[in-house]
Amino acid sequence: MLQYLIPQAHAIIAWTSGKDINKVRTWSWAADDFSLPIWVTDFFSNFWNIVIWIILFWLAWKFVGFMYEILTSKDLIYIKVTLPRADSKLDKEKETKKDFKEKTGIMSIFYKAIHKIGDRWPVETVLNFIFNYAKISLEMVFKDWQVHFYIVTYKEFTTMLTQQITSNYPDAEVKIVNQKEYIDIKPAGYSLKAMSSGKRVSDIFPIKTYKYFEDDPLSSFTNAFWSLKKDDIAVYQIVVKPLWQGWSRKAKKAANLVAKWQYKKGNKAWLWLEIIQSVLGPLYWVMRRFVENEPVGWSNAPGASSWDSYKIFNQAEQESHKAVWESAWQPWFEASIRFLVSSKTAATAKEWLDNLLTTTSIFTDEYNNKLDDPRFMEELLSFILTPLRYIWFKNKLVGLMQSKSVFSVDELSTLYHFPDINYNKSPVIKWLDYKMIAPPSNIKFPKIPTILSDYKRDDAWNVFTKDWSLLKVDENKNLVRDASKNLVLMDWTIVEVWKEWDSKWKPTDEGKTPIQEDKQRQIWWFPIFKDWILMGWNEYRNSKLPIYFMRKDRWRHHYIIWKSWGWKSVLIWYLARQDLWNWDWLCVIDPHGDLVEDVISFTPKERAKDVVIFDPSDYERPMGLNMLEVISTDPNLRAIEKDRAALDATSIFIKIFNEEVFWPRIQHYFRNGCLTLMDDEDEGWTLIDVPRLFVDDAFCKYKVSKVRNPVVKAFWDHEYANTWDREKQEMIPYFSSKFGPFITNTTIRNIIGQPKSAFNLRRVMDDQKVLMVNLSKGLIWDLNAQLLWLIFVSKINMAAMSRADMPEDERKDFYLYVDEFQNFATDTFWEILSEARKYHLALIMAHQFIAQIGWAKWKSDKPSIKDAVFWNAWTIMSFKVGAEDAEYLEKEYAPILSQQDIIWIANFTTYCKLNIDNATTRPFDLKTFWDNTYKNKEVSKIIKEYSRKMYWRKKEYVDMEIEARLWIVRNENWTIN
């Protein structure tokens, strides 16, 4: 038996090691030169039994491991890694721009750190020995014409992997996604093609690594993906498993042999031969030790004597040996490489797959190794291998009926690393839409909830009735009603309601009455708290954190900027609705109208009577708004308020007509005219009465007789009285013409011409009312809207300043929301920014671009509105902006953000600097909401009608009053004796 077995062993060793059989025979003993122990003879007599048992054990082991991996694949975690498009601001400032080798080397640090993932705990060590437990799938996924980078692993390794990624790539977004968000590599109607690859020759010889490339090899792959069509799907997958120290020792020993030319670079066996070799490996090792006279792999180099095993190498060979040596001292991973492409037709899928496989040629090191090109065999057996590749890909399997290769850390870093915008310019790479920044560490959280009345609801927001039926709700969580206002049950049964006033809209069946309860308000499942507003949420490294803004921190004003398209208005209405829910005073000034409509529709029923709506487009019931009305009762404060009103009115007309048209001489006349009218406290007078002082002598004498201000009295008695008639004839028509657009326009005249305003702004503030100002340009025209905007800002400022007569602890907070605030950019607005916070006025201002407020003011002793905004607004939020604005904001956000970061921020996301405890935080990103919960248009209609009847006057009465004052009906009391 032994005589038969030894020649067979010679053949096996020669075949598998690539050595000459005659030389192998010289190593062994002759069969008749010695005798073996009986136990050895018995061992070989049972040779075939041993072979069969080894095969059965190996098959059972592989089957159990295979089933384990299939069953546990449902527990895999999918980690999506996305890098920012721009360099970090700090790198640019330090001028530390790295070449791609240093950038790729960062990935080597990552691989070294994760090499121990399967050897941390005894249980993991056992599982990793029996199964391919400690595996990681590194994937580049092409879908929707973008290349995404994924890392897939078990839950136990997720935390360590994410920590290693974020520590090496601090600006990366590391997001755990569910399987639905991942990829369907084989959708219905698509044809799938798949192939695998590995090292061509012995694993000890490395492929060409990034250290020997002139350009980033990743670009070759991304460019290959670029050739695919938008609806194609492709995956480049490397499933890796760390190898233990035994392979490292073997690699180091082999590296020494390579340097002596004693390690032969044999081709890797075909797949089925690898399987046989892995099955018979232990037996082969035993036989080899019996028949060989010297260690495996040792031989003298060609041309060398028996005492000199070295030879002279050329420079290229020395470089290749250096690469082998460098790889040998690194951690090693066992890996399976796969390429999968799905397309509408098999031909295109094959074409794109060929393109991807061709790209692997860049990793060829002529003196060491390269990736195999298995297209012939894979195509020949595609009917079997393609389905298997699909299963292996889905379950992230290593090896198992496909070749496995061993790669060092540098090799893996070359094959798979994350992109860098400086070296990977391919348009298909999915970059991070914006730079994600962790929230400040001093973020505070509220405690007292905002409680308001609501219905008792189930998890789907449907409403319970007293008999525990369920009423349907609409998309805004309001009760569904039919055309007759009847309620609707979940089974579409109609619940009739009373139509009589006392019980209007209540169900006729008492059991179907909705159950009401007090509960905490929420937006997007984030709770709302008293004295705080929810700004949005920060998402950083798979953690969502709601950001709240404290009441006292809002006093230092809030600035919002975004390009046109209205999301800043959405931000305003979800901030304003929280002020409504918190029983705060607020005023919203809207130049378009939609914002006011939206805010009103969120008004809770508890605050319905607090709402005052100013809508100048309602011609039938105009509301009065008198710029020259003085509301203070203290004589000293009244004098100050008169001066402020005159100055504000002058600023308004300068803003409307500019200083070249409304020149200083005209300003002087106008200011004295306003002060003259306000000194008559027995009767109310308005802006439309100002030009009459200069064209109606009787009216002028009557008003001047009531002037108590000596400076104003001197103007009329000396300056104006001594003005030449020619100058009056030239100036007064020019002066009066500036009031013509407002006096001749019925709509604006009936508003600013009423001597008594429809509401007292000071009382609105102190009583915590809600003022909604709808100044839609489309309804009242631009010039009229601009005048009313400016009057409102001035009136609000005067009302705020008048609170100086009350202790600070009694001043209630109120919030002024101004959309497109550049329209109000006057001296008054500058004063609000710098002074009004002392009187608890918090300004929330929004507009589109900085140049709107960047113009120089007409007075050189004051800064521009832009400077006033950025000096006084301690909370800044910037959405999408243009390049010029980003350049300016870069200074505000330095050194965290660059100009490109600011420009590329995602839609509905903002960079924010928040005021916390009178200190502005560093910038961070903030996602905003779109949530219509609690919106009720029916309530909006009721509130608007209530406000209309409560504060507005009928047009015919207003017309009669103004006609009497505009000299159409002469008042005899104007005659002065």
Q: Are 928 and 908 in contact (CB under 8 A)?
A: yes
What pLDDT score does 14 carry? 53
Q: Which residue has the higher pLDDT, 28 or 880?
A: 880
For residue 279, pLDDT beyond 60: no
pLDDT category at 465 given cuts 50, 70, 90 is very high
What pLDDT score does 866 carry? 87
The total number of residues shown for the chain amounts to: 977
Residue 735: enclosing H or E segment and its boundaries? Answer: helix 725-737
Q: Which residue has the higher pLDDT, 55 or 267?
A: 55
- Cα gap 341→346, rounded to integer Å: 10
Of 20-34, 614-628, 761-775, which range is least confident?
A: 20-34
For residue 61, pLDDT beyond 80: no
Q: Are 471 and 495 in contact (CB under 8 A)?
A: yes
Q: Which residue has the higher pLDDT, 42 or 444?
A: 444
* Across 719-747, average pLDDT: 86
Strand partners, 267: 201
* Across 300-312, average pLDDT: 47
Tokens of 320: 């290749």
* Across 644-650, average pLDDT: 90
pLDDT category at 855 given cuts 50, 70, 90 is low
Q: Which residue has the higher pLDDT, 503 or 685?
A: 685
For residue 643, pLDDT beyond 70: yes
* Across 950-976, average pLDDT: 69
Q: Collapsing DSSP states into helix, strand and coil, what is residue 236?
A: strand
Q: How far is CA 157 from CA 83, 130, 242, 802, in A?
A: 21, 18, 13, 64
The string of pLDDT tens digits covering residues 373-422 is 888 777 788 888 888 888 889 888 887 667 789 999 999 999 999 999 88
Strand partners, 814: 585, 841
Q: How far is CA 328 from CA 301, 317, 412, 540, 921, in A?
A: 21, 16, 14, 38, 49
pLDDT category at 543 given cuts 50, 70, 90 is confident
Of 6-20, 390-404, 438-452, 583-597, which range is least confident?
A: 6-20
Q: Of 695, 641, 657, which Cα lies nearest the Cα of 673?
A: 695
Q: Which residue has the higher pLDDT, 37 or 741?
A: 741
Residues 6+ apart with CB under 8 A from 594: 569
Of 47-56, 336-345, 502-511, 684-693, which range is least confident?
A: 47-56
What pLDDT score does 46 carry? 65
For residue 288, pLDDT beyond 60: no
What pLDDT score does 119 carry? 64
Tokens of 331: 């951690």
The string of pLDDT tens digits covering residues 83-105 is 988 665 555 554 444 578 888 89
Q: How far is CA 754 from CA 453, 652, 684, 763, 961, in A?
A: 39, 19, 8, 19, 8
Q: Of 137, 319, 305, which Cα lies nearest the Cα of 235?
A: 137
Q: Are 631 and 756 in contact (CB under 8 A)?
A: no
Q: How far is CA 617 from CA 518, 621, 961, in A?
A: 38, 9, 20
For residue 925, pLDDT beyond 90: yes
- Cα gap 629→638, rounded to integer Å: 10
Within 10 angstroms of residue 912's Cβ, the number of other Cβ atoms is 26
What pLDDT score does 90 carry? 54
By CB atoms closer than 10 A (0-12, 13-18, 19+), residue 201 is: middle
For residue 891, pLDDT beyond 60: yes
What pLDDT score does 559 carry? 95
Computed from CA positions of residues 772, 777, 780, 784, in that sequence, does the dihedral angle turn out positive or negative?
A: positive
What pLDDT score does 536 carry? 94
Q: Of 536, 550, 539, 532, which Cα lies nearest the Cα of 916?
A: 550
Instruction: Locate the domains of the chain by residue range.
Output: 56-262+330-415, 457-519, 547-951
- Cα gap 389→341, rounded to integer Å: 11
Q: Are 669 and 610 in contact (CB under 8 A)?
A: no
For residue 576, pLDDT beyond 80: yes
What pLDDT score does 410 carry? 93
What pLDDT score does 129 carry? 66
Residues 6+ apart with CB under 8 A from 207: 199, 363, 364, 365, 368, 369, 370, 371, 407, 411, 414, 415
Most confident of 127-131, 238-242, 259-263, 825-829: 238-242
Computed from CA positions of residues 966, 967, 971, 977, in that sequence, does the dihedral angle turn out positive or negative?
A: positive
For residue 2, pLDDT beyond 50: no
Q: Beta strand 558-561 with 841-847: parallel, antiparallel or unpaired?
A: parallel
Supply angle C-alpha 835, 836, 842, rounded to 5: 130
- Cα gap 242→356, rounded to integer Å: 26
- Cα gap 265→268, rounded to integer Å: 9
Amino acid at 74: K
pLDDT category at 32 given cuts 50, 70, 90 is very low
Q: Collapsing DSSP states into helix, strand and coil, what is residue 909?
A: strand
Share of the chain above pLDDT 90, in %: 27
The string of pLDDT tens digits covering residues 690-727 is 998 998 888 899 999 999 999 999 999 999 888 888 88
Tokens of 613: 């709506």
- Three-state SS sequence of 608-630: HHHEEEECCCCCCCCCCCCCCCC
Q: What is the rounded average pLDDT for all residues in the chain?
A: 82
Q: Of 914, 910, 913, 915, which Cα lies nearest the Cα of 925?
A: 910
Share of the chain above pLDDT 70, in %: 83
- Cα gap 22→818, rounded to integer Å: 96
| Sole residue written with tokens 């001197």 | 714
What pLDDT score does 468 carry? 92
For residue 272, pLDDT beyond 80: no
pLDDT category at 21 given cuts 50, 70, 90 is low
At CB < 8 A and 24+ separation, what contacts does 935-942 make?
Answer: 935/476, 935/478, 935/598, 935/601, 935/602, 936/476, 936/478, 936/601, 936/602, 937/601, 938/478, 939/601, 939/603, 939/605, 939/608, 940/597, 940/600, 940/601, 940/603, 942/608
Q: Are 904 and 594 in contact (CB under 8 A)?
A: no
**Residue-wise DSSP of 828-889:** HHHHHHHHGGGGTEEEEEEES-GGGG-SPPSSTTS--HHHHHHHH--EEEE-S--HHHHHHH
By CB atoms closer than 10 A (0-12, 13-18, 19+), residue 864 is: middle
Q: Collapsing DSSP states into helix, strand and coil, what is residue 587?
A: strand
For residue 578, pLDDT beyond 80: yes
For residue 44, pLDDT beyond 90: no
Tokens of 45: 């007599």
What pLDDT score does 915 carry? 96
> What is the Rg, in whole angstroms, of the alpha carbon atoms belonging to the chain?
41
**Residue-wise DSSP of 117-146:** GGGSSHHHHHHHHHS--S-EEEEEEEETTE
Q: Of 957, 618, 966, 928, which Cα lies nearest the Cα of 779?
A: 618
For residue 496, pLDDT beyond 60: yes
Computed from CA positions of residues 932, 935, 937, 940, in that sequence, does the dihedral angle turn out positive or negative?
A: negative
CA 224 to chain centre: 30
For residue 535, pLDDT beyond 90: yes
Tokens of 96: 């530390």
CATH class name, domain 547-951: alpha beta
The string of pLDDT tens digits covering residues 325-368 is 888 889 999 999 999 999 988 889 998 898 888 899 999 988 88
- Cα gap 472→327, rounded to integer Å: 67
Phi/psi at 185 (nearest 5 deg)? -75, -15
Most confident of 52-66, 258-272, 645-659: 645-659
